Amino acid sequence: MFGAVFSASYSDKFEMHQLQEATRERPTAHWRRGYQQGSATAGMCYYLEYDGPIPGSPPTPGTSAQGSSCSSRSSPAPRHDDLQPERREHIERVPAQPTTAGSHALSGYVRRLRVALPHFSSLLPSRRTRTATRTAMAVRTHLLVSLWFALTIPVIFWDATYLFLRPRSMVGGDLHHFWKPYALYQEVDYIYGVKAYEEGDGFPNAQSLLNIVENLMNIAYLYLAHVKGSSIAPLVGFASAVMTLSKTILYWLQEYYCNGCSVGHNSLQDLIVLWVIPNGLWLLVPSIIIWRLGKDISGALRLADRAAKKELSGKKQ
């Protein structure tokens, strides 16, 4: 109850105060420089000249009153032109002091305020450096890189789905007609055959899952390089090629350390024609892509570094 009474009383007083402040005439004053009329002090000085009645004195219609007279003790005010630029202030309009207690009017308006802030822009790359970086990282496409990624995308999806859908994708399965060439290859490489499936070997599906990730990166490279023209494309293509190469090397090393447990049963001719040459392409072409895209990335980084050093040396001078 007391809270409600207090709130209502405070609200009424606040509204009454706001109404009084809105209807009260506020005299304004101008700073003048010259000879003040009626002043006993000789010489030039600064004084206040009110547009309306002087606060605390009866209003005089049709005339403008003058406020605080020049002080004989004070030295003449410094000229505006003699002040330093950073400390030069020009006060155009100064409202008179409020006559009602409790009102909070400002005693003056500062026309211009200079705030010294640290130059944070020096901590950030300049426009020239950013432009040089974007120019250096502009997309440069290569026919071999784009052609390899475009041709291997459907092959990788085809190979991965075969392994994920075993045994339905194998010989005798209801979906085998989509993967007829694997009827031969599952006899060449037991990783793709019945032996690995019956033993529950998890390597085929694990490497197929990584193949899907690799394929998505290949698609991203083609989109970024040929559609968006993004400077990120070489980095994505480089990462995808590194992933392909390292995964293929792991595939070969597994056969080496298990004494050809999956392909050792083939004749030398079948091994070279059906396994070494096809899998060798996944070593050769990704290596070329890594070299080509790595050269582009390193060249762009060197160009950006030279631009940054040139700009830094210019700032020191």
What would the two tokens of residue 253 be?
């090393």
Give yes or no for a contact between 275 and 248, defined as CB atoms under 8 angstroms apart.
Answer: no
> How far, in Å, CA of 5 to CA of 194, rounded?
89
Q: What is the pLDDT along the chain (317 residues), one digit of tens a residue?
A: 444 444 445 556 667 767 777 666 666 666 666 655 555 555 556 666 656 555 555 555 544 555 544 544 444 444 545 444 444 444 344 444 444 444 444 344 333 334 344 444 444 555 555 555 555 456 788 999 999 999 999 999 999 999 999 999 999 999 999 999 999 999 999 999 999 999 999 999 999 999 999 999 999 999 999 999 998 999 999 999 999 999 999 999 999 999 999 999 999 999 999 999 999 999 999 999 999 999 999 988 998 888 888 877 776 66
Residue 208, number of CB atoms within 10 A of its CB: 17
Give yes or no for a contact between 262 and 196, defined as CB atoms under 8 angstroms apart.
Answer: yes
pTM tops 0.75:
no
Report helix, strand or coil for 297: helix
What would the two tokens of residue 218 be?
């290949």
Q: In the chain, what are the domain boundaries? A: 27-74+86-114, 127-316
DSSP 8-state code for residue 80: G
What would the two tokens of residue 112 be?
């211009």
DSSP 8-state code for residue 53: P
Secondary structure (DSSP) of 94-146: EEPPPSSTT----S---S--------GGGGS--HHHHHHHHHHT-----HHHH
